[in-house]
Amino acid sequence: MMDFLHHILAFDAESPLLFTQFYFWAFFALVYALFAFIMESPLLSKSKVKSRLHLRNVYLLFVSWFFYYKTSGLFLLILAFVTFSDWVIAQQIRNAQTKDYGLRITKYKIPVATVLLALSVVIDLGLLAYFKYAYFFTNMLNDLFGTGFRVFDIFAYIGNGFSEAGRFSVDTIVLPVGISFYIFQVISYTADVYRGRIQPVKNILDFGFYVSFFPQLVAGPIVRAEEFIPQLYKPFRLSRRLFGLAVFWILNGLAKKIIMSDYLAVNIIDRVFDNPLLFSGFENLFALFAYSLQVYADFSGYTDVAIGVAMLMGFYLPKNFDSPYKSRNPQEFWRRWHMSLGRWLKTYLYIPLGGNRRIGFGTYFWWALIALVSAALTGWWWLLIPFTLLIAGVAVAHRRIVHGKWSNGKLLYSNLNSFITQVLGGLWHGASWNFIIWGGINGIGMIANKIWREMNWHVRFGSMTVLTLTLAMLDWRYNLPVWRLFAVWAGIVWTGTLIRYIWWLVTRDKLRITNYELKITNALADAWAIAQTFTFITFTRLFFRSSSNLDPATANEVAWATAKNMVNQIGGAWNNAIIPAFLWEFRWVVAMFVAGMVIHWLPADWKRRYRLRFASMPLWLMVIAVCLAILVIYQFVTADMQPFIYFQF
């Protein structure tokens, strides 16, 4: 028992508190027992609701800090510092705004509130840059200028008593868990205070609770201040149905994470991504699609659990995923995928850049930077020419729009700003080039789709035909796997476009189409669009994965080599004869993937119904259902691994 308690209480970097482990649930049960005591104890006067809520908030703050300490040790101090800094700055922003303080520089008066906001963003992003991007920037500088800089952990140096030797290593910078999430949360708070959307939180402990609420601290969702802070002052509210839904979300999340994500990862995805050359083209393609499902199941599973756990304590976190692989185009995908990040980027990056209404210094700055860095790091300085032409063209077009000579400003501005948002969003996901490439491809996909939707059917079919023929020619001429892959893909899209084009030609003059026909054709069109979007998103996943246990330079190299080798295998080492053998030998893995996709694509109404049915079942039956679900999940936790089988030699 002492060992058990020690295991629960002491920091151990090797065993953080994860939702998928028994220790988390033991921890949560203990936390909830005291939580219930605070909320229900007759020792606390019923009339003092506010003090009870305050006590609850303080209690959950310390619980959350303990949770973070268990996960990240002394990085708790960084979390505490950020909490303190943004709390103080937000107070001062409101103070400065109330009193209209300003800094006068020559004839200009800069509001102090703006300076304070900038200070807050610099501190927050500075910390994020230091911990998350130090290796990335160091490598970039070394690559660009041939220098030999190495990272230096200043916090370890201070922790060692201003010495390089001591308890902490100064040669490595460890990324604090969840820093990307809580930094974005505090920025949203300070920005919302600056914009007057919310009042600053008076009590720092309440604010600390908002920043570090443990269910969403490690992997989101990114909760904006205006969504969460009002809940701090509302009494506990959990209807019977909401309780059932909370339990459902927890089980749903665990099942997604363990049954879907982990099982697929261990049995096929990891081994293929680790060494694509060992596997045939079909296996690589299957692993890539399975990886798409795994990423979704892993991430959304974790946030489902977070949402359920928070609900049990009477807090409501925003929905983070809305069946993203049902999207019919890339824009819709980004409205359904990691929605809290998407909203954050839209509110605090895309709209300040100008959104679809304008472009300004920020837009030009980021495009110039993207051009410069792309040219410098690839060594293809000629890239500057098209980029310069693009930026010059944008400037000319912008001028024409301002003078009312061109009306497509909305499309142009939104494309330019959303591309920047996608690239920076990619960088948020990980500090390496593959994530930037991933963001860039997503940006290109969104722009291409917007332009496509602006075209009429003649232009669509014509341009698709030209593209397909070009890729086919490239494949024929160079016979490289990458051209083969693109040519086949383009061929499939072209076939679909041809069918739709013919249908459009046949029906455009037909005045009477029955509702039934319309329904069928719309359903087919949706299915086609969903399949294309899913394939495109899956393709971008080639660049989404990097090894966390490698140093950043090697991780970049490995990520690039993995993407290249997978493309080579898919486009080159294809052998239809081995597909049946693979499907048979890996039948459980394949079945799991198919089941995952089928469940994902179930109509939202069906899902809502079975969720509500679960939520409404009697409590005794729910206890049994939970135990059975955990029993099933445990079978997957302990499932034996599929052994290696080679199909291609």
Partner 1 sequence: MRPNQVLLFIIAVMVCLGALCMVLPGRVAWRGHELRWPTLAEVTGTEAETSETSETSEVSEVSEESENPEGSEGTEGTKGADSVPAQEPVVIPKIQIDSTLDSRIYLRAFYASLPEAAERVVRVLHYGDSQIEEDRMTLQIREHLQARFGGTGVGLMPLAQTIPSRTVRQELYMNRRKVNPYHGPQRYLSYASREMQRADGKYGVMSQMALMADSLVPGSEEITAVCIPQTASAHYTRWQVFADSSVHYTFSGDTVRLQGRGAVYGLSQECEQGIIVDNIPLRGCLGLVFTKTDSAQLADFYSGQNVRLIIMQFGGNAIPFNEKPGTIQAIVTGLREQVQYIKACAPDASILFIGPSDMLRQTEGEWQTYPMVPYMDRLLQKMAQEEEIAYFSLFRWMGGAGSMARWQATGLAGSDGVHFYRSGARKAGNAVAEWIMEGMMD
Give the pair of three-digit tokens for residue 86.
């943004």
The verdict on 591 binding partner 1 (CB under 8 A) reads no
How many helices (H) does the chain have, and how many strands (E)? 29, 2
Among 12, 100, 171, 274, binds partner 1 (CB under 8 A): 274
Establish if 40 lies at the interface with partner 1 (CB under 8 A): yes
Least spacing, CB of residue 10 vs partner 1, in Å? 13
Which candidate, 340, 67, 7, 316, places its Cα nearest to that of 184? 340
Which residues within the stretch 79-98 sit at the binding site for partner 1 (CB under 8 A)? none
The interface with partner 1 within residues 308-367 (CB under 8 A) comprises: 312
Q: What are the phi and psi torsion angles at 19 (to 5°)?
A: -60, -25
CB of 369 to partner 1, least distance (A): 31
Closest distance of CB 214 from partner 1, Å: 16
Residue 635 makes contact with partner 1 by CB under 8 A: yes
**Contact with partner 1 (CB under 8 A): which of 33, 506, 511, 598?**
33
Cβ 434 vs Cβ 563: under 8 Å: yes
Binding of partner 1 by 574 (CB under 8 A): yes
Active-site residue, from 54, 429, 458, 600: 429
Rule CB under 8 A: say whether 382 interacts with partner 1.
no
Q: Which of 385, 499, 619, 621 binds partner 1 (CB under 8 A)?
A: 619
239 binds partner 1 (CB under 8 A): yes
CB of 618 to partner 1, least distance (A): 12
Residues 6+ apart with CB under 8 A from 536: 330, 445
Q: Find out whether the peptide bond into 221 is cis, omega within 30 degrees of 0.
A: yes
DSSP state of 145: H
- The residues, ordered by sequence, that sit 6+ positions from 349 with a Cβ below 8 Å of its Cβ are 420, 421, 424
The one among 165, 550, 591, 604 contacting partner 1 by CB under 8 A: 550
Per DSSP, the three-state class of 108 is strand
Question: Min. distance of Cβ 592 from partner 1 in angstroms?
Answer: 15
Copy the structure tokens of residue 4.
Answer: 């058990």
Position 631 contacts partner 1 (CB under 8 A): yes
Residue 39 binds partner 1, judged by CB under 8 A: yes
Q: How far is CA 44 from the centre of its chain?
A: 42
| C-alpha–C-alpha distance, residues 429 and 356, integer Å | 24
Residue from the set 11, 18, 32, 599 that interacts with partner 1 by CB under 8 A: 32
22 touching partner 1, by CB under 8 A:
yes
Q: Which is nearer to partner 1, 597 or 639 (CB)?
A: 639
Which tokens is 195 given? 């914009």
Nearer to partner 1, 5 or 598 (CB): 5
Active site residue 54: no
Whichever of 1 and 511 has its CB closer to partner 1, that residue is 1
Instruction: Dig out the tokens for 440 from the structure.
Output: 């860039």
Q: Closest Cα partner for 539 from 253, 226, 285, 269?
A: 285
C-alpha 9/C-alpha 375 separation (Å) is 51
383 binds partner 1 (CB under 8 A): no
Q: Which of residues 179-238 bind partner 1 (CB under 8 A)?
A: 236, 238
For residue 544, give the nearest of 450, 428, 448 by alpha carbon.
428
* Of the residues 393, 554, 601, 621, which one makes contact with partner 1 according to CB under 8 A: 554
Task: Write the CA distances from 298 to 21, 255, 266, 403, 629, integer angstroms.
Answer: 15, 10, 13, 50, 18
Q: Which ranges constitute the DSSP H helices of 146-219? A: 154-159, 179-194, 204-212, 214-217
Q: Which is nearer to partner 1, 3 or 509 (CB)?
A: 3
Residue closer to partner 1 by CB (options 37, 149) is 37
Answer yes or no whether residue 266 interacts with partner 1 by CB under 8 A. Answer: yes
Mark the segment that binds partner 1 (CB under 8 A) among 268-276, 330-338, 413-421, 493-501. Answer: 268-276
Minimum Å gap between C-beta 302 and partner 1 is 18
By CB neighbour count within 10 A (0-12 exposed, 13-18 middle, 19+ buried), where does 528 fall? middle
Chain-centre distance of CA 342, in angstroms? Answer: 8
Name the pairing type of β-strands 102-105 and 108-111. antiparallel
The nearer residue to partner 1, 447 or 485, going by C-beta atoms, is 485
624 makes contact with partner 1 (CB under 8 A): yes
Q: Using the rule CB under 8 A, which residue among 478, 588, 601, 610 binds partner 1?
A: 478
Among 74, 158, 165, 277, binds partner 1 (CB under 8 A): 277
- Minimal distance, residue 14 CB to partner 1, in Å: 9
- The H or E element that residue 196 is part of is none
- Between residues 2 and 105, which has the closer beta carbon with respect to partner 1? 2
With beta carbons less than 8 A apart as the criterion, state whether 451 and 339 touch: no
Residue 11, interface with partner 1 (CB under 8 A)?
Answer: no
- What is the rounded distance in angstroms from the CA atom of residue 23 to the CA atom of residue 11? 13
Q: Is 479 in the site for partner 1 (CB under 8 A)?
A: yes
Dmax (CA) of the chain:
83
Q: Is 44 in the site for partner 1 (CB under 8 A)?
A: no
Count the residues of the shown chain that bind partner 1, applying the rule CB under 8 A: 63
Return the closest-CA partner of residue 648 out of 266, 274, 264, 275.
275
Please, what is the minimum distance in Å from the beta carbon of residue 640 to partner 1?
Answer: 6
* Type and span of the H or E element at 111: strand 108-111
384-402 and 361-378 helices, crossing angle to 10°: 170
Does position 488 interact with partner 1 (CB under 8 A)? The reply is no
Q: Which of 140, 22, 29, 124 is nearest to 82 (CA)?
A: 124
Does position 649 interact with partner 1 (CB under 8 A)? The reply is yes
Q: Which residues are catalytic?
A: 429
Give me the residues that bind partner 1 (CB under 8 A), please. Answer: 1, 3-4, 7, 22, 28-29, 32-33, 35-36, 39-40, 236, 238-240, 242-243, 247, 266, 270-271, 274-275, 277-278, 312, 478-479, 481, 547, 549-551, 554, 558, 568, 572-575, 619, 622-624, 626-627, 630-631, 634-635, 637-641, 643-646, 648-649
